[in-house]
Chains A and B, each alone.
Chain A
Amino acid sequence: MTENEEKKLCAEALIISGVKPEKCMKCGKCSGACPSYDEMEYHPHQFVDMVSKGQIKKLMESASIYKCLSCFVCVERCPRNVMPANIIEAVRALQERPQGTDRLTPDEVKNILDDDTPQQLLMAAFRKYSR
């Protein structure tokens, strides 16, 4: 991964998560509250910090993204509405999504659509397959 690609991924992680890391005042309350802190190599506050600095590769390769319980206590406790769990989720999504060509195009959607398909699932599928 080149530095530029990494920067691009970081920007994408911020878009997906809707997180604005510049709001962070680096108090560390997220990590102070995190129940799986010791399990994680990188901690919630580091996710926010590193993504904002363009260092997403280490995070994507780290097992920390799977150790996060998505309990959202960091989001709940953050005094500045930064939402660290959302950024961890975004890094996880970027890592997990199949890389490469599109697997589902909008044209194919109407064939597999039925009334019971929740809209959210469709959105998630687009996100997952459109990379």
Chain B
Amino acid sequence: MQRIGVFVCWCGSNIAATVDVKKVAEELKSEPGVVYSADYQYMCSENGQNLIKSAIKDYSLTGIVVCSCSPRMHEATFRKTASEAGINPYMVEIANIREQCSWIHKDMATATQKAIILGRAAVAKVNLNTPLTEGESPVVKRALVIGGGIAGIQTALDIADAGYKVDIVEKKPTIGGKMAQLDKTFPTLDCAACILTPKMVEAAQHENITLYTYSEVEEVKGYVGNFDVKIRKKARYVNENLCTGCGECTSKCPSRKGLNEFNMGLDGRGAIYIPFAQAIPNVPVIDTAQCIKFKTGKCGLCQMNCPSKAVDFSQKDEFIDEKYGAIVVATGFDIITLENYEEYGYSMYKDVVTSLEFERLMNAAGPSKGHLERPSDHKQPKTIVFVQCVGSRDTTGCGKEYCSKICCMYTAKHAMLTREKYPDTEVYVFYIDVRTPGKNFDEFYRRAVEQYGVHYIKGMVGKVYDDGQGHLMVRGSDLLANEQLTIKADMVVLAAATKADESARKLGTMLTASMDTNDFFTEAHPKLRPVESPTAGVFLSGFCQGPKDIPETVAQAGAAAAKVIGLLAKNKLKSNPCVARADSLICSGCSNCEKVCPFGAITYAETDVNDGTVREKRRVAVVNEAVCKGCGACTVACPSGAMDLKGFTNKQIFAEVDAICRQTGE
């Protein structure tokens, strides 16, 4: 039997003005288990807390009920008080008689009666409370960053600088991501490579960072502080330790049919290749689909010519098992394919390109060495039409419903750079809205219009067709002039919608991290926890969480790193003790609870069960207390009632229901 103390707070006149606190204290005294009751002006004040502490000692209380303000306000305070007086902090219950009683009722009798009932419910609950202890789990001081673009690199650097080990897993043969493919960056027009490559080098040379390029995450187990991750290191067929990056092999390779992915397929590459000159690691990889040796068994020129004997055709995929305390997702983005948009003729005409292809065409390291030429006949285009929102803001299912966010700015950048380099080129931009919220963004766009004379046309392109003489006819509406235009262009650039990277969905499932319908990772709170996934220990960096430009990505990368550092800095993680628990005697191992758990906290284990008569090994549910957040979904899904939630047990809630339903005087 519990020995319960009831403490009724006046909260000055906040409660006392409409609730007869003395009567509440008096009434609750006769409740089962209550051995002491008192009222005081301010229970949360030091004197009030001392009153509770001495009562706990003097009357050897085992549990307390505080009738006061909302538990959201002072539950923590009173738990601390209880614990200082030597009883378990979870033996405290709060009856909310301020927000949910005195403040909303005017009539003294009504409010007092309600306060008594709320107090009774709390007493009934405390009678069934059991001491709970916060769980503790150790933290592995190592972080995993998935994705080696600017988001992943920045997050890894920030974590590594704080002194923690970080591994970056990148599925491509080099880190750098999309930013490495860009020419200039808006709105300052810095060269992307000039600001990115030093960061890539820094990441590669950092003593705390390990790079796993051409690798993918294969399996994730565990929970916050203790993730077990299996990484597949795909065979490059080149020994990374021996290779010096001399490039002898790539120049000798006779296969030339592979499309250069880095240049968006605008030119070719050998079967053994280094994606680009500043690639990190500067180690080639063999594309087995193109390699003559792999296809026919005859060739091996690369191997013969390698001065350091690094080429190894027998290399196999390797698996690395590592433990991590935190995981950062930085899988980035891609652009959509345009097969649903035949009106723009992307697949029909070579000179209709995506913005990312245009980026490569403008880039000094691109297929045309930075000289702008159109892909079909390598002539310099004289008229270029840019089309925005190609597939963005599209609710028909062909594209994406959201605004891709970055297109307005990079189109302005492309238009401006074109006019800067080739002033005799006419540049048209079809837009629906120009969206330029950001520091110096609108100024940048206006500069394109006012200083560089780019023709912005409010309207959309309806059709792109060939005039038979090597020109592209672009027909669209000019809504402001209320006319339909047909522009004779040499080149059309489509601002294709962005999308989450294809690897994201699979990864989301592995991490049990929630995603939206667009495959963007969901943040724990849209305003207040934007870089954390609802899954504890999983953090989000960059585009994988939603469209972002480079500065935003870097800012978010830093924020994610700060959160990771905050986690890794702890030696032990304390967990909420109000978590689910399965009674192994009752559990039938049906797996219902596992299916409803949003956190993957429930697993099954063959357990020795001994109920006094039968002794056997059975498959029963086991709750991982470090992962369980205590929502209670499993308790209701459990058909046998084996699953219960500590702190909110079935019995406790039944008791509360009973107490509220109890007739006065019954």
Are A and B direct contacts in the complex by CB distance below 8 Å? Answer: yes
Residues in A lying within 8 Å of B, measured CB to CB? 23, 25-34, 37-38, 43, 45, 73, 77-81
CB contacts (< 8 Å) of A77 on chain B: these are 343, 462
- Write the chain A residue with the least CB distance to B395: A80
- Write the chain A residue with the least CB distance to B391: A79
A122 to B389, CA, bound (A): 43
A73 to B393, CA, bound (A): 19
Choose one: A28, A32, A81; the contact of B395 (CB below 8 Å).
Answer: A81
- Write the chain A residue with the least CB distance to B480: A28
Does A79 lie within 8 Å of B479, measured CB to CB? no
Sort A-B residue pairs by CB-CB distance and give the 3 closest, nearest first: A33-B462, A32-B462, A29-B460
Interface set, chain B 572-616, CB cutoff 8 A to A: none
CB contacts (< 8 Å) of A37 on chain B: these are 477, 484
Does B432 lie within 8 Å of A38, measured CB to CB? no
- Closest beta carbon of chain A to B465's beta carbon, Å: 11
Does A29 lie within 8 Å of B462, measured CB to CB? yes
Does B395 lie within 8 Å of A79, measured CB to CB? yes
CB contacts (< 8 Å) of B477 on chain A: these are 28-32, 34, 37, 43, 45
CB contacts (< 8 Å) of B467 on chain A: these are none
Does B432 lie within 8 Å of A26, measured CB to CB? yes
CB contacts (< 8 Å) of B343 on chain A: these are 33, 77
Does B396 lie within 8 Å of A30, measured CB to CB? no
Choose one: A23, A28, A34, A81; the contact of B479 (CB below 8 Å).
Answer: A28
Besides A33-B343, A79-B393, A80-B393, 7 other CB < 8 A contacts? A27-B389, A28-B432, A28-B460, A28-B476, A31-B479, A33-B475, A45-B477
A32 to B484, CA, bound (A): 6
A33 to B341, CA, bound (A): 13
Choose one: A38, A45, A80; the contact of B396 (CB below 8 Å).
Answer: A80
CB contacts (< 8 Å) of A33 on chain B: these are 343, 462-463, 475
Does A79 lie within 8 Å of B476, measured CB to CB? no
A78 to B397, CA, bound (A): 11
- B119 within 8 Å of A by Cβ? no
CB contacts (< 8 Å) of B482 on chain A: these are 43
A45 to B399, CA, bound (A): 21
- B394 within 8 Å of A by Cβ? yes
A82 to B394, CA, bound (A): 11
Does A32 lie within 8 Å of B432, measured CB to CB? no
Does B394 lie within 8 Å of A32, measured CB to CB? no
CB contacts (< 8 Å) of B430 on chain A: these are 32
Does A30 lie within 8 Å of B462, measured CB to CB? yes
CB contacts (< 8 Å) of B230 on chain A: these are none
Residues in B lying within 8 Å of A, measured CB to CB? 343, 389, 393-396, 398-399, 430, 432, 458-463, 475-479, 482, 484
CB contacts (< 8 Å) of B460 on chain A: these are 27-29, 32
Does A73 lie within 8 Å of B399, measured CB to CB? no
A72 to B343, CA, bound (A): 14
CB contacts (< 8 Å) of B396 on chain A: these are 78-81
A73 to B484, CA, bound (A): 15
A106 to B460, CA, bound (A): 47
- Closest beta carbon of chain B to A33's beta carbon, Å: 3
- Closest beta carbon of chain B to A47's beta carbon, Å: 13
Known: A29-B477, A43-B477. A73 touches B462 (CB 8 A): yes
Does A79 lie within 8 Å of B484, measured CB to CB? no
CB contacts (< 8 Å) of A26 on chain B: these are 432, 479
Does B463 lie within 8 Å of A32, measured CB to CB? yes
Known: A25-B393, A78-B396, A80-B394. A34 touches B462 (CB 8 A): yes
A-B pairs with beta carbons under 8 Å apart, 7 shown: A23-B395, A27-B389, A29-B460, A31-B477, A34-B462, A77-B462, A79-B393
Does A27 lie within 8 Å of B462, measured CB to CB? no
Known: A32-B459, A33-B463, A73-B462. A27 touches B432 (CB 8 A): yes
A79 to B387, CA, bound (A): 14
A43 to B475, CA, bound (A): 15
- Write the chain A residue with the least CB distance to B484: A37
- Closest beta carbon of chain B to A46's beta carbon, Å: 8
A27 to B396, CA, bound (A): 14
A79 to B433, CA, bound (A): 14
Choose one: A23, A27, A73, A78; the contact of B459 (CB below 8 Å).
Answer: A27
CB contacts (< 8 Å) of B389 on chain A: these are 27, 79
A81 to B460, CA, bound (A): 15
- Closest beta carbon of chain B to A91's beta carbon, Å: 19
CB contacts (< 8 Å) of A78 on chain B: these are 396
- Closest beta carbon of chain B to A77's beta carbon, Å: 6
Does B395 lie within 8 Å of A31, measured CB to CB? no
CB contacts (< 8 Å) of B475 on chain A: these are 32-33
CB contacts (< 8 Å) of B458 on chain A: these are 28
A104 to B393, CA, bound (A): 46
Choose one: A23, A25, A34, A80; the contact of B484 (CB below 8 Å).
Answer: A34
- Closest beta carbon of chain B to A116's beta carbon, Å: 37
A19 to B286, CA, bound (A): 55
Does A28 lie within 8 Å of B393, measured CB to CB? no
A122 to B230, CA, bound (A): 66
A30 to B484, CA, bound (A): 11
CB contacts (< 8 Å) of A79 on chain B: these are 389, 393-396, 398-399
A28 to B459, CA, bound (A): 5
A31 to B460, CA, bound (A): 8
Known: A26-B479, A27-B460. A38 touches B484 (CB 8 A): yes
- Write the chain B residue with the least CB distance to A31: B477
- Closest beta carbon of chain B to A97's beta carbon, Å: 29
A118 to B6, CA, bound (A): 80
